[in-house]
Structure 1
């Protein structure tokens, strides 16, 4: 007991003397309880799960910058009751980010950001004490060490994507560390990347290839997860944001050390490509394959069009243990289906339980291809100029659009991923308790008299588009609701195929090497291969034959395939393409109008604010005062 109070006094004294510890958790707290936490295997396992805790909070997409700042989703900023959603992350594209009080502050753990440095500290504490439980077997100990090394690498990656060069915290500092020792410096980009990769290499060899007991262990890290994350890290390091970015040449530590590489290094794409292939090979060897719809007993006799849509939609919502495509998902169930679903029945219209306020802008729906598998502004057979004219649904399109319902021409003749991913005025909805393909619900979004929502009209979806992809077709919303839970994927096999295609193209490989990986994804989506689609239907038929043209195709393909999964927002950052995605006002339809003619007039919802400084997060200004070794990110 005396020892406990001795350590407690040391902790309080150190914190009071070294106030800078608030900005970066590098010393352990609750020192007196550490021996207790590792006194036996069961207690140590509880601490292991504590190391996992922060990563599981990423299931709240409203706190994920990859979701909120990508231009894929608009959240209304005029609600008096946000119904459980913190709007901080969504407001960042409105220009609210600042250094005095950063939104989604993952550095300090404020304003929707997770306490990432604290999570790293927990991992270090686990590694430092792993030898204490005498009843912990050698094989299990190796696995736990590997899991924690992975988590430590991933937490560094979370910070790296947001802040770029960060301090490397490999060990916890002693409780009696001096003020100068606690005032850590930011490490250069290449040093951070090498550190994360080294941890993952160490972890991968001792991680299990698959989870053999999903009931008890689903969500714990496997070898395919570690290898896939390594590929993501190396692709991020090879990308324009971090690989010879001229914007960041002047960013240096106070000792003059440059924090960003000054010159482009093509060999970084070689490393990324090799890591992608290793990750894919390992995942496939352990059973990974592109997902196909698994029908429940009540679903039968689906036509090919609807079957393809469900192949795509359930790629996200299928149970993890049944979904061969999910390499890694977050273990808690996705909590936000109610923000992604329209009101499909008159009873639902009178029941405001589901907010439906995650609104997809017109620009996002226009990203999806035509049914010929090329962009809508490139397809020489598709009427792009008159896409905002109206057209009435007919028998030929009844599986996609309500028969006899008038909607906009842009909703016709689109690729299956469009119908799987986005709900729109007139669009059919297989599910919500109705699984007969000939009597599907369809969305009626126009005007206050339609099935748009309660009398509190500010809670309507403000664009007229919902991210249908994020709703399980088995979820039912009527006078009550039943949510069919699922876990949101972090990494899918299709995403790894597209990442590998990107790396190969950046290496300058031939189309014969690159296109098969894209075409695997397109085939599952019901589309012809890139070469056939562009040659036959595009106004730019040779686009895919140049590196720059194929780069555009790969980027658009990735944004479509992974839409609303948080990945496109991070990709747009590393590609340095966010200014293009946010260069125009984000628009929706005139949702309060009842007639189709008046409804289908684009209206501005948000004018995004983005410049070079927004690529990286600001470090809280107070942290720079407390730790004078830290330097701020560019222009903050």
Structure 2
């Protein structure tokens, strides 16, 4: 047993995880000893970047449970060629998760998961040896220590969201540790949270407020990033999954120590509110603001409706250097634009490199509001019961729907985020080389021979709806592929506004204190404020006046604003609402039919398998075997 852990420890020092020597994505090559790794400033900086390297691998959405298990996207499981996408994470909603061979195993690093405990031990090694480089300045040392403490907090947080109570990896155990010493046990939820917050509090003062040398340092941690993650941690700890959840009252360490506090503590929301406001103030003081579209010289006159759509779409896809809204993104660029794009031209339809396989189910499409800013089943002006009847696009709707194209009524009279985020049959697609607002592409997603629809079982969008939000309008897919890269945000200012509204509501604050933070986001989205929208257009006009009603509004607003950004799936978990989302069949249109009457028939694509045990990941059976002090999560 002892030799097993010695091997792990040595591997931390010697392994080269990735061969690509990119900034913040490196691991020291051929490091034989710690002394060599820290012999001077340059070698130590390489080791610092190796501490970052695991973080950079979290950029891939197919490995992010917040994306793959959120109910926002379906990935087909009948493909003969996955086009480089590992389907493990997407298949979890089909009931494939298990403890013998867990999918997205971030505990041990199997099946698409990163070995985060290995990353934590690497960070500890950095802190243990930071005094060795004699040419490292005092200011640099303080900053590097702060960065590594942040990384330790974030890696713990990632594990915490998946597994709940985890072993705290504060220091590396000596190689000569006893067999019992290496058999660590899980720490209670509150202890893990307090530890993560303490690390962030220690780190924040020594982090820069902004990155001045963006060419060399963009992606390194700043004070607004650290404060924002602290807010996320405290909001997660205050949420129903971890705050007084009776489901987990029986989970205890083998010595009888309870790992969950089954008593609700309202003061946790007070801490979360304070932390979120501090993050907002820091972000705004250091230049963050809601993004507005920056047109290129090739773009001429734009209607107000298209301008709003592009305000929203480019809040994700604009370069980080120009996007004032991004508080934090990872250094690598988003790699999955071809999976999110329909084939808009005949040449693209014949090109196998454009898979278009990320499919948005009807339930996610129907989450978006009407043009009046209320849910489609609440709007007293929206024909909800007949929403699947056919309607033809006309001149008045030409910036949203193809003029003369027959689609369904559900695609009309929706909010701007519906048109910014979704590529649906008949929907206008600004970009792909076309930026004249009068001659834009629109999606033709019906039938196996359509330009944008499925052509075979290798490249198929199973719902005929694409997450347009994740495609840069400047990217062109035709006979060739011109990708204009962007970095997918981890934290946006809009998300912090919504999180603050949530914390205020959970504190029991009145609506007039909560709604201004929601309305900041809604105004940018071209919607009336909450009070105005519900008072005039909702069948439940007083919904916003109760705490529970406001909670529903905030949760839906958050899921809409942050759709496809890997965050709503985590939110649904901490709210304990993922089970309700995945309790219904996930449907799409009858994609092989070309006639609209037959096409627009909701068809079940996936019947999700999810119950209470699915809120937390299973610990690998082998980990329990080699460490008999560990206890398994509920139901696994």
User: Shorter chain as normaliser: what TM range?
Assistant: over 0.9
- C-alpha separation in 2, matches of 1:223 and 1:91: 37
- C-alpha separation in 2, matches of 1:536 and 1:21: 67
- C-alpha separation in 2, matches of 1:335 and 1:374: 34
CA drift of 1:453 comes to 5.2
CA drift of 1:512 comes to 1.0
Offset from partner CA, 1:460-501 (integer Å, 9 cap, x none): 100010000000000000011100000000000000000000
- C-alpha separation in 2, matches of 1:480 and 1:542: 53
Does the CA-based 8 Å contact 2:2-2:178 persist in structure 1? no
Residues 21 and 611 of structure 1: CA distance in aligned 2, closer, same or farther (over 3 Å) = farther
Equivalent residue of 1:391, what SS?
strand
User: Is it true that 1:401 corresponds to 2:401 in the alignment?
Assistant: yes
Residues 453 and 365 of structure 1: CA distance in aligned 2, closer, same or farther (over 3 Å) = closer
Does the CA-based 8 Å contact 1:352-1:454 persist in structure 2? no
The equivalent residue for 2:236 is 236
Does the CA-based 8 Å contact 1:20-1:627 persist in structure 2? no
Residues 575 and 569 of structure 1: CA distance in aligned 2, closer, same or farther (over 3 Å) = same
The equivalent residue for 2:390 is 390
The equivalent residue for 2:108 is 108
- C-alpha separation in 1, matches of 2:548 and 2:461: 37
Does the CA-based 8 Å contact 2:76-2:462 persist in structure 1? yes
The equivalent residue for 1:19 is 4
Does the CA-based 8 Å contact 2:402-2:442 persist in structure 1? yes
CA drift of 1:267 comes to 0.1
The equivalent residue for 2:460 is 460
- C-alpha separation in 1, matches of 2:74 and 2:437: 31
Does the CA-based 8 Å contact 1:26-1:121 persist in structure 2? no
Equivalent residue of 1:159, what SS?
helix
User: Is it true that 1:380 corresponds to 2:380 in the alignment?
Assistant: yes
Which shifted more, 458-467 or 191-200? 458-467
Does the CA-based 8 Å contact 1:587-1:604 persist in structure 2? yes
Residues 298 and 52 of structure 1: CA distance in aligned 2, closer, same or farther (over 3 Å) = same
The equivalent residue for 2:328 is 328
The equivalent residue for 2:495 is 495
CA drift of 1:21 comes to 7.0
Does the CA-based 8 Å contact 1:28-1:175 persist in structure 2? no
Does the CA-based 8 Å contact 2:13-2:122 persist in structure 1? no
Equivalent residues in 2 for 1:353-502, closer than 5 Å: 353-452=353-452, 455-502=455-502
Equivalent residue of 2:391, what SS?
strand
Does the CA-based 8 Å contact 2:224-2:327 persist in structure 1? yes
Equivalent residue of 2:181, what SS?
helix
Residue segments in structure 2 that go unaligned for 5+ positions in a row:
15-30
Equivalent residue of 2:386, what SS?
coil
The alignment's TM-score, normalised by the length of structure 2, stands at 0.96
CA drift of 1:20 comes to 6.0
- C-alpha separation in 2, matches of 1:219 and 1:29: 24
Does the CA-based 8 Å contact 1:28-1:172 persist in structure 2? no
Equivalent residues in 2 for 1:17-416, closer than 5 Å: 17-19=2-4, 29-30=13-14, 32-416=32-416
Equivalent residue of 2:146, what SS?
helix
- C-alpha separation in 1, matches of 2:532 and 2:2: 68
Equivalent residue of 2:171, what SS?
coil
- C-alpha separation in 1, matches of 2:627 and 2:338: 43
- C-alpha separation in 1, matches of 2:57 and 2:291: 26
The alignment's TM-score, normalised by the length of structure 1, stands at 0.96
- C-alpha separation in 2, matches of 1:529 and 1:583: 31
CA drift of 1:178 comes to 1.0
Does the CA-based 8 Å contact 2:288-2:324 persist in structure 1? yes
- C-alpha separation in 1, matches of 2:259 and 2:454: 52
Residues 57 and 28 of structure 1: CA distance in aligned 2, closer, same or farther (over 3 Å) = closer
- C-alpha separation in 2, matches of 1:352 and 1:601: 28
Residues 269 and 532 of structure 1: CA distance in aligned 2, closer, same or farther (over 3 Å) = same
Does the CA-based 8 Å contact 2:79-2:457 persist in structure 1? no
- C-alpha separation in 1, matches of 2:376 and 2:455: 36
The equivalent residue for 1:586 is 586
- C-alpha separation in 2, matches of 1:597 and 1:316: 35
- C-alpha separation in 2, matches of 1:291 and 1:370: 23
Which shifted more, 234-243 or 347-356? 347-356
Which shifted more, 304-313 or 442-451? 442-451
Equivalent residue of 1:327, what SS?
strand
Equivalent residue of 1:19, what SS?
helix
CA drift of 1:27 comes to 8.9
Residues 166 and 406 of structure 1: CA distance in aligned 2, closer, same or farther (over 3 Å) = same
Residues 78 and 286 of structure 1: CA distance in aligned 2, closer, same or farther (over 3 Å) = same
RMSD: 1.2
- C-alpha separation in 1, matches of 2:127 and 2:379: 56
Does the CA-based 8 Å contact 1:352-1:453 persist in structure 2? no
Does the CA-based 8 Å contact 1:355-1:460 persist in structure 2? yes
- C-alpha separation in 1, matches of 2:458 and 2:172: 48
The equivalent residue for 1:7 is none
Equivalent residue of 1:587, what SS?
strand
Does the CA-based 8 Å contact 1:26-1:173 persist in structure 2? no
CA drift of 1:163 comes to 0.2
Offset from partner CA, 1:111-167 (integer Å, 9 cap, x none): 000110111011000000000000000001100000000000000000000000000
CA drift of 1:456 comes to 2.3
Residues 36 and 435 of structure 1: CA distance in aligned 2, closer, same or farther (over 3 Å) = same
- C-alpha separation in 2, matches of 1:206 and 1:227: 12
- C-alpha separation in 1, matches of 2:67 and 2:6: 30
- C-alpha separation in 1, matches of 2:456 and 2:546: 52
Offset from partner CA, 1:353-388 (integer Å, 9 cap, x none): 110000000000000000000000000100000000
- C-alpha separation in 2, matches of 1:61 and 1:494: 20
Equivalent residue of 2:297, what SS?
coil
- C-alpha separation in 2, matches of 1:213 and 1:76: 43
CA drift of 1:454 comes to 6.7
Number of aligned pairs? Answer: 620
- C-alpha separation in 1, matches of 2:378 and 2:454: 40
Equivalent residue of 1:298, what SS?
coil
Equivalent residue of 2:373, what SS?
coil
- C-alpha separation in 2, matches of 1:622 and 1:212: 46
CA drift of 1:28 comes to 5.1
Which shifted more, 48-57 or 457-466? 457-466
Residues 366 and 453 of structure 1: CA distance in aligned 2, closer, same or farther (over 3 Å) = closer
Offset from partner CA, 1:276-319 (integer Å, 9 cap, x none): 00000010000110000001111121110000000000000000
CA drift of 1:171 comes to 0.5
Does the CA-based 8 Å contact 1:316-1:469 persist in structure 2? yes
The equivalent residue for 1:631 is 631
- C-alpha separation in 2, matches of 1:558 and 1:322: 24
Offset from partner CA, 1:379-427 (integer Å, 9 cap, x none): 0100000000110000000000000000011000000000000000000
CA drift of 1:452 comes to 3.2
- C-alpha separation in 2, matches of 1:326 and 1:28: 32
Equivalent residue of 1:604, what SS?
strand
